[in-house]
Amino acid sequence: MTVQPRLAGETGSWRASARSWYASGDALPFLLLAPSIVLMLAVIAYPMLTGFMYGFSTGTLLKPGKFVGLDNYLRLLQSPDFLHALWFSLLFAIFNVIGCYVLGLALALLMNQDVPFRGFFRVALLLPWIVPSIVSIVSWRWMMADQHALFNQIIGAFGGSPIYFLSDQNWAIAAVIVIKIWRSFPFMMLSLLAALQGIDRSLYEAAALDGASRWNQLRYVTMPQLRNISIVLCLLMTIWTVNDFDTPWLLTQGGPANATENLVLLAYRYTFGRNDVGLGSAVSFITLIILMALVVVMLRRQRER
């Protein structure tokens, strides 16, 4: 008899304090964010910490190994495969970002003019971006698969000798980059077009009054206005390219002779091919560090300006 009211009183006060917390207004943002925070902890934070630990140990997908300190990282630094993957990731990112930015900007400038059926073109030029990676690779592979494929028939018609796009190392690298540019430029075009349409018209009118040519308007009005969005877009594209698995894997599986193997493919091969979780985790952790360093440097520079 004496216990029950006290307990009820306790739950009551717990409820009351919960209610007052909720009423204070601090609770709602927390509750709104709670589901996504839980998911991010489980799918991003937990693997990030475990992956970090795995990087310092041996072990396979089936059973954990023992702690080996910096051994995996030291092995990587001496491994030609790793250095090549690092180099290819860099090359892949630089060429793709430059390629898809230039192409995207050119098309955005073209589409920002008064063209009939502009809406149609805006949709039609986005197709390479929205088709599934597997579909784009199947369609491109057919055009460059062997000496009888379309590209080689065209080269043959002009009297050239066939090019083995997928079995020659340099051509395979070029092919992966070209296809990646093809898959990425629509995003650049779309975002830059939106930015172009947001530029204040009066700036152009003022420039025209001062007698600026079209080129000078582009150079001194358009480009400075696009600066910030361009930096953000190129940063995003760099991240996406470094993290790209689909394009090189589906086209060449990293071959020939690992020529088109980037860091992600290497981590995948070490982990799921060689069953070496330690090495695979070390490679993917290095990838994360590189990307984070890039983002921090870029954002800091942007804030300073």
Q: In the range 76-115, which residues lie near other proteins by CB under 8 A? A: 107, 110-115
Cβ distance to other proteins smaller for residue 4 or 113: 113
Whether 213 contacts 131, CB under 8 Å = no
* CB 216 to other proteins: min, Å: 14
d(CA 261, CA 245): 9
Q: Closest Cα partner for 66 from 285, 278, 286?
A: 278
User: Token pair 């690298």 is at which residue?
Assistant: 173
Start-to-end CA distance of the chain, whole Å, equals 71
Closer CB to other proteins, 8 or 208, in the complex: 208
Complex with other proteins: residue 5 or 19, whichever CB lies closer: 19
Q: Which is nearer to other proteins, 8 or 150 (CB)?
A: 150
Nearest-CA neighbor of 189 among 106, 269, 92?
Answer: 106
The answer to whether residue 131 forms part of the interface with other proteins (CB under 8 A) is yes
Binding of other proteins at residue 178 (CB under 8 A)?
Answer: no
Interface stretch with other proteins, choices 11-19, 72-80, 219-227, 274-282 (CB under 8 A) = 274-282
Among 35, 69, 80, 159, binds other proteins (CB under 8 A): 35
Q: Which of residues 132-171 bind other proteins (CB under 8 A)?
A: 132-136, 138-140, 142-143, 148, 150, 153
Residue numbers 212-251 binding other proteins by CB under 8 A: 228-229, 232-233, 236, 239, 242-243, 245-246, 249-250
Q: Which of 5, 9, 47, 273 binds other proteins (CB under 8 A)?
A: 47
Cβ proximity to other proteins: between 259 and 283 the closer is 283
What is the identity of the amino acid at 289?
I
Q: Which of 80, 116, 159, 211 binds other proteins (CB under 8 A)?
A: 116
Show Cβ contacts of residue 86 under 8 Å, excluding neighbours closer than 6 positions.
Answer: 263
Q: Which is nearer to other proteins, 8 or 296 (CB)?
A: 296
